[in-house]
Amino acid sequence: METPFSLVYGSDAMIPVEIHESPPRFLSFVAEESNEERRVNLDLLDEAREEVRIKAEAVKRRVEYQYNSKVKPRQFQLANLVMRKAHPYELENKLSSKWTGPFRVTEAKGNGSYKFDTLEGGPIPRSWNVANLKFYFS
């Protein structure tokens, strides 16, 4: 496993405590060998960085796949009834309903954004993301 320090500078770091305690790797230091190893590490640094980039991309894709496998895509049609997630200031206590509504969808703005009205016909002043909405079943 590569550390950020080793990816930038091509070698492992030594913390000050290691220098004062004189660990074996500090006591067995030979300048010529160190210089040669440093050159080899610097030659291999680009390969190590590329390997880490590939591993990071693989992790990113696994996380994306896991997230997308659990997401339930929702799309609302015009005139659907929806509930919207209540703001924390709208909750009176911990037993209050976490959803408010129902509301009638009046416009799909794209990218999962919707505008809606109250059932009496009064418009809601802003649009809401689909993550904060759910179907209302009467």
Q: Is the pTM of this model over 0.75?
A: no
Q: Give the type of residue at 121.
A: G
* pLDDT given at position 37: 78
Per cent of the chain over pLDDT 70 is 85
Residue ranges of the domains in the chain?
Answer: 4-70, 81-135
Distances (CA, A) of 61 to 56, 64, 129: 9, 5, 25
Report the alpha-carbon angle 22-23-27, nearest 5.
70
Q: How many Cα neighbours within 13 Å face the side chain of 126?
A: 4
Dump pLDDT digits (tens) for 120-134: 888 888 888 888 888
* pLDDT given at position 67: 87
* pLDDT given at position 17: 66
Report the alpha-carbon angle 104-69-52, nearest 5.
130
* pLDDT given at position 71: 75
Its CATH architecture, for the domain 81-135, is Roll (2.30)
- Residue stretches of the chain with pLDDT short of 50: none
